[in-house]
Amino acid sequence: MSNLVQKFQQYSGWRDDVKNSLQRYRDCVKGIDLADGASDQRFMHMLARLNEDKLSIAFVAEFSRGKSELINAIFFADYGQRILPTSAGRTTMCPTELLYDETFPPSIRLLPIETRAEAQSTSDFKSQSQVWTVLPLDISSGDGMLEAFKQVSLTKRVPVEEAALYGLYDETDLDMAMGVDENGMVEISQWRHAIVNFPHPLLQQGLVIIDTPGLNAIGTEPELTLNLIPNAHAVLFILAADTGVTKSDIDIWRNHIGGTGAGRLVVLNKIDSMWDELRSPAEVEEQINMQIGNVAQTLGIGERQIFPVSAQKGLVGKINLDAPLLAKSRLPALESALSNELIPAKQDIIRAQLMTEVKELAASKQALLSSRSRNVVEQLLELKSLRGKNQTILDHMMKRIDMEKTEFDGSLFKLQATRSVFTRLSNEVFTHLGMGVLKDNIRKTRDAMESSKFSAGLRMAVKEFFQQALTNLHLSAEKTDEIGEMMSVMYRKFSTEHGLALSAPMPFSLEKYMKEIDMIEKLYHKQFGAATILTTPQVVLMQKFFDSIASRVKQSFLQANRDVEAWLKVVMAPLEAQIGEHKLQLKRRRKSIEKIHMATDSLEEKVQAFEQMQADLEAQKTELKRLENELKAAILAQLGLYKAAA
């Protein structure tokens, strides 16, 4: 088993451990009557985050760099043969996602290239099942799967005008012009996008493999430029050791990958082309190191980011159980880099998100238990002080409780006014964040782009779209800040005036969505910012990109809407829970004194009952704290260590 497979299995096991601990904590909260709608929503949100957690790796290369062979060598060697087709020339003609979704049978879903003529992105089409061509995948037959995978390499010839309509032909590109036959036909991919639903063990555990076509497709398919590649947790950029860095390689790196992050690795494939029986091992090593240095200098990265491998020899070594050949291929070094950098980095992201949620949830539940415990102690002291008291004292105590209740009801009346302001501000948040406003902005931008005859007009329309999207987010953020400040005032008021154990309300920010919109705009400028005058094919391509830009922004706004709705439901929940608890305790205190007023012989029974309640609450606090610590320990565990320590 490779280090990468082992590490990913550990990561999957870690998620399962966290889910189990979270479920035990949730059961305890429910068992001691601390559950409410807000906390239930939080539990569901955390469980959904763990269940839907994906880890995506994008493989990017020009054709004939051995990309498909590398995927075979890393992930599919256990099948004893190639699963992705490999041959001279292009084998991947459309972006392909390999994943597992248990709601679909094993299959290949193919999106026809004709959909590029419509004003919708690939992401938009993913929810439209009727548009896709679906082919069954026989996972019991390696040969059958190989034949099915060949679908992604299918092409067809269409008139130049049709290819231009899809944004796939540019008459100023000499290479494209040379591809036009005597009938005015040009070769294009038969499919726009492919999704392979395959129950491979790693895919079942949340891995997503993104197989990309060459430079031309990366430059013309917005889904790759704006979504799949930027959002991948790791990008493997594959070069060929025998050719080094070509001009098209440099274009891909600078325009679509770049960066020096841990998730950006360069693979120098086909080092077996340098193996030469007439050279000593030291001379071969020197030649490989020289090529690594050249690549590092050309791409402007450190040599530690570059991994020389032979994917083909690595695959053969794995299939034939030839350990020396596998070691010579250097594939294990690349797999170790992926497992030691990518997976722990992904775990850190999920860990930080979960810890924030758990700390806030646990603090609110402990505060509620403490409030219950404090009220029981107060009632117990109150009851013990009644020993030997006459009826006049009892009457006085009931009047004092009634006075407390009157003061508390006065605060609740003021809270009702706050609730009405809360509702008004909540509606104002969605006035700017609502999907209707965004759709109107998208429509206006499309109309402006279609009516503009000049490059400047096209760019201005898109610029105004981004400005409006950011303005709407800023206006919504001002309202959420206002709500947060108002709730802070109410929390402090009830804490100081009525002794409720309340910490600051849950904070909220829309900043990450502003950064996301800013990132999308930068990707757009990277694609279209250089040329002063746009050619007709570039105009068509810009319109295709705007379709994907609109889809990405729409996804951001949808998620922002969900996050705001979730926050609005929970921001007042701790206050309302403590208010409910305080009202209940006031009612219980008065009822206890009333009973003692009527029958003094029940005083000792009441004292004993409250002493038992106090003991039970202390036991509940201890158990809840134990499960909270267990949950935090599961979240903070390093990969491979939790089960041993548990």
Element (H, E) at 12: helix 3-31
Q: Which of 243, 248, 345, 257 is nearest to 301 (CA)?
A: 257
pLDDT of res. 635? 93
Band of residue 642 on the pLDDT scale cut at 50, 70, 90: very low
Tell me the C-alpha distance between 241 and 307, whole Å. Answer: 11
Q: Contact, 50 vs 15, CB < 8 A?
A: yes
Question: How many Cα atoms sit within 13 Å of 146 on the Cβ side?
Answer: 14
Which one is predicted more confidently, 368 or 112? 112
Residue with tokens 């429910």: 30
pLDDT at position 645 is 37
Least confident span in 9-18, 282-291, 386-395, 449-458: 386-395
Each residue's pLDDT tens digit, 60-84: 888 778 888 998 898 888 878 777 7
What mean pLDDT do residues 524-528 have? 79
- Say yes or no to pLDDT of 1 above 70: no
pLDDT of the residue at 269: 94
Q: What is the per-residue pLDDT for 627? A: 95
Sheet holding 55-60, edge to edge: 133-136, 107-112, 191-197, 96-99, 207-211, 55-60, 234-240, 264-269, 306-308
Q: Do 341 and 4 meet the contact criterion of CB atoms below 8 Å apart?
A: no
Listed residue (609, 597, 605, 511) closest to 556, CA to CA = 511
Gyration radius from the chain CA atoms: 32
Predicted confidence band of residue 12 (pLDDT cuts 50, 70, 90): confident
3-state SS class at 159: strand
Please compute the mean of the pLDDT values over residues 381-396 and round it to a whole number: 69
Residue 423 burial by CB count (10 A; 0-12/13-18/19+): exposed, middle or buried?
Answer: exposed
| Nearest alpha carbon to residue 499 among 578, 589, 574 | 578
Note the pLDDT of residue 119.
82
CA 272 to each of CA 96, 153, 261, 313: distance values in angstroms, whole numbers, following the listed order: 27, 26, 28, 8
- Tell me the pLDDT tens digit for each residue of 183-193: 889 988 899 99
For 109, 136, 230, 404, the CA distances from 196, given in Å and listed in that order, are 6, 10, 21, 66
How confident is the model at residue 388, as a pLDDT? 64
The predicted-structure confidence for 230-244, as pLDDT tens digits, reads as follows 888 889 999 998 888
Over range 556-565, report the average pLDDT: 92
Quote the pTM value: 0.77
Higher-pLDDT residue of 8 and 50 is: 50
Banded model confidence at residue 39, pLDDT cuts 50, 70, 90: confident
Predicted pLDDT at 177? 80
Statement: residue 310 has pLDDT above 90: yes
Q: How confident is the model at residue 318 (pLDDT cuts 50, 70, 90)?
A: very high
* Of 287, 218, 281, nearest in space to 255 by CA: 218
- The mean pLDDT of the chain is 84
